A and B are shown apart, each in its own frame.
Chain A
Amino acid sequence: MNGTEPLVSVRNLRKEFPIRKGVLSRQVGAVKAVNDVSFDVARGETLGVVGESGCGKTTTGRTILRLIEPTSGEIRFEGRDVRSMGTSELRALRRGMQIIFQDPVSSLNPRMTVGAIIREGLTIHKLAEGAAADARVRQLLQEVGLRPEYSNRYPHEFSGGQRQRIGIARALSVEPKFIVCDEPVSALDVSVQAQVINLLEDLQRDHDLTYMFIAHDLSVVEHIADRVAVMYLGKIVELATAEDLYREPLMPYTQALLSAVPVADPHARKERIILQGDVPSPANPPSGCVFHPRCHHPAKDAACASIVPPLEEKTPGHFAACIKQPPTTVSWEQQREVGGVHPPERYLPLAAVHA
């Protein structure tokens, strides 16, 4: 992956949703759902994106695909600028970038047969017609582990796990290179989750796919992702390989997140970092570091409320946005100028580490 161009490249992506009030629907504010996000996804890798509700991970996924139009920023797929594409170019692009959804119920049109659902991509992009299309549909069904005879049936006749498989087959039908997996297993039972996760991994191997795997379940993400980005209130606050992140989380939010995951081991340490309060509203994010009101870092001070921490490399390949975790490019002088009293110091609570 070194030296080759990333498959997907995102720079300074922003998406704001206007808040309208009044009879004339005047804009009074904006929800900064995605607030200056930048990352690359290398060919063949799985980038995990985790965060809690309201962090902007789903919006980021859909904005990359231009299912939601970004407010500003740059998106590149195979080096080409996605934002400037016209309608027909964009349609051709859709073959390369696909998406799998969270809700198995609402993501399939209840009035179409399974076969029609899967065939639609082939029809739109003129990839196959008639008998050839039927054959391809049957082949796709088999690949996702469903019997080919099912193409005549309707979605309501299937279970949640089977419907997700249908959604996966639909995404695969246009032979994409990149798939945004938007919480694909969150709505499924544990044992069915495992089936679908294994399927996604097998398909990745067989078709050389690249995934952006969005989830809130940290254990699932750790299992499937190569690198993980942690999002909070529209920003990426940490980015590292899965191993590094889980072994040494640097950003205090990540530490709290990891310590909050219930561990299926009664003997595991019960000490935990409990965050105070709720996630602030994305319409009114805190100043400076958006996490500072709830942060437990011992060096937290007034500087954190003024300075927006850059996402910077702390150890090779491991990025975190925290001016109190050294090394940092925000100098101590700069911090003192805005009221900083505690110099940066490395802090890694045991409660956050999963050995």
Chain B
Amino acid sequence: MPGQIQDSAATRAARPRESPFALGVRRILRRPSSRVAFFVLGVIVLVGLLAPLVAPYNPSAQPDIVRLKDLPPSFAHPFGTDPYSRDVLSRVIYGARLSLMIGVLATIVSLTVGVAYGAVSGYAGGFLDAVMMRVLDAFLSIPRLLLLIGALVAWPRLSIGALVVFLGLTGWFGLSRIVRGQVLALKHAEFVTAAHALGASRRRILWRHLLPNLVSPIVVASTLGVAHVIVLEAGLSYLGIGVPPPLASWGNIIYDGADQPAALWWMSLFPGLFMVLTVMTLNILGEALRDAYERR
């Protein structure tokens, strides 16, 4: 047997085979802050998913707009009621569902466009890359919020679907830059040259070799992206151009109580609190992911 390699038993570190993904997850969960964040986020997500089972009241029900409106937090209504006598707790719970869903879907849209744009630009290189990047620069120079407000004011009363699309289409610029940078670096990695030498087509190299190695920065950017969209959506709803009533989103609830912010303090505190928690946990996890994958 030519050159049979024999390693000492001692080098067999007895760790079972581990994909790079599993390695990353293990590293993240090692940190106490990440474990807490994971748990808290998990609870919020679960609550949102199980909203119909968990919410005590129908979020749209307006049982008695004379006597049950504007009630401060009580046993019957732990988060109080709003000017339409709807239970704020139920609305916050349904709000979790909607806000998270919008966050995730919009990020998926951003991801798809951003990764495609960045990967093509980076892989093609040369003139095409230069042109695509200048176009991107033009997009990047417009503040996202302004863009959104402009679009949404032009088309008021949008459906959720359209809102998601708009949010998604304004959020891919930074990600495509990141992806392009990674692709540029990876293009010259020797394993890419090796695939080329084996006869792999450009498409195969893109799908099999480049994209899988982009997963880490994409996952990190997405996690932080979801947090960003949640905040944006809340802001837009607060301005009255986001999620259309009577649907409940965290921003909507704050909007409903915006006329008397001090008197109806529970209408900004509770949705605000949940938003802060969600965004913080997403950020913590995003950073932990970034640290975990970069250490390799």
What residues make up the interface of A, taking CB atoms closer than 8 Å to B?
A: 62, 65, 67, 90-92, 94-95, 98-99, 101, 103, 106-112, 120-121, 124-125, 142-146, 152-154, 156-157, 159, 161-162, 165, 167, 170, 174, 195-196, 198-199, 202-203, 206
Contacts and interface: CB of A to CB of B under 8 A. Distances in A.
Interface string B253-296: 00000000000000000000000000000000000000000001
10 contacts: A91-B199, A94-B197, A106-B190, A109-B195, A109-B212, A111-B20, A144-B3, A165-B5, A174-B199, A195-B3
B194 interface: yes
A39 to B, nearest CB: 21
Interface in B159-200: 189-191, 193-200
Given A143-B2, A145-B4, A174 B198 contact: yes
Nearest to B17: A153
Contacts of B3: 144-145, 195-196, 198-199, 202
Contacts of A199: 2-3
B69 interface: no
Given A143-B2, A145-B4, 13 more contacts: A67-B196, A91-B199, A101-B190, A108-B194, A120-B208, A124-B204, A125-B199, A142-B1, A144-B3, A145-B2, A145-B3, A154-B20, A203-B2
Contacts of B112: none
A202 B191 contact: no
Contacts of A125: 199
Given A99-B197, A146-B5, A154 B19 contact: yes
A107 B191 contact: yes
A67 B2 contact: no
Interface string B39-52: 00000000000000
Nearest to B200: A124
B58 interface: no
A101 B198 contact: no
B209 interface: yes
A67 B194 CA distance: 9
Interface in B1-42: 1-5, 7, 11, 17-20
Contacts of A94: 197-199
A101 B194 CA distance: 8
A210 to B, nearest CB: 16
Q: Give the interface residue-count category, chain B.
A: 20 to 34
Given A124-B204, A154-B18, A156-B20, A98 B197 contact: yes
A167 B55 CA distance: 58
Contacts of B197: 65, 67, 94, 98-99
A145 B213 contact: no
A111 B198 contact: no
Contacts of A156: 20, 296
Nearest to A167: B194
B200 A120 contact: yes
Contacts of B1: 142, 145
Nearest to A101: B190
A154 to B, nearest CB: 6
Pairs of residues from A and B, 6 with the lowest C-beta to C-beta distance, nearest first: A202-B2, A199-B3, A94-B199, A107-B190, A145-B5, A111-B212
Nearest to A114: B17
A91 B19 CA distance: 31
A265 to B, nearest CB: 27
Residue of B2, B204, B215 with highest tally of chain A CB at under 10 A: B2
Nearest to B130: A25
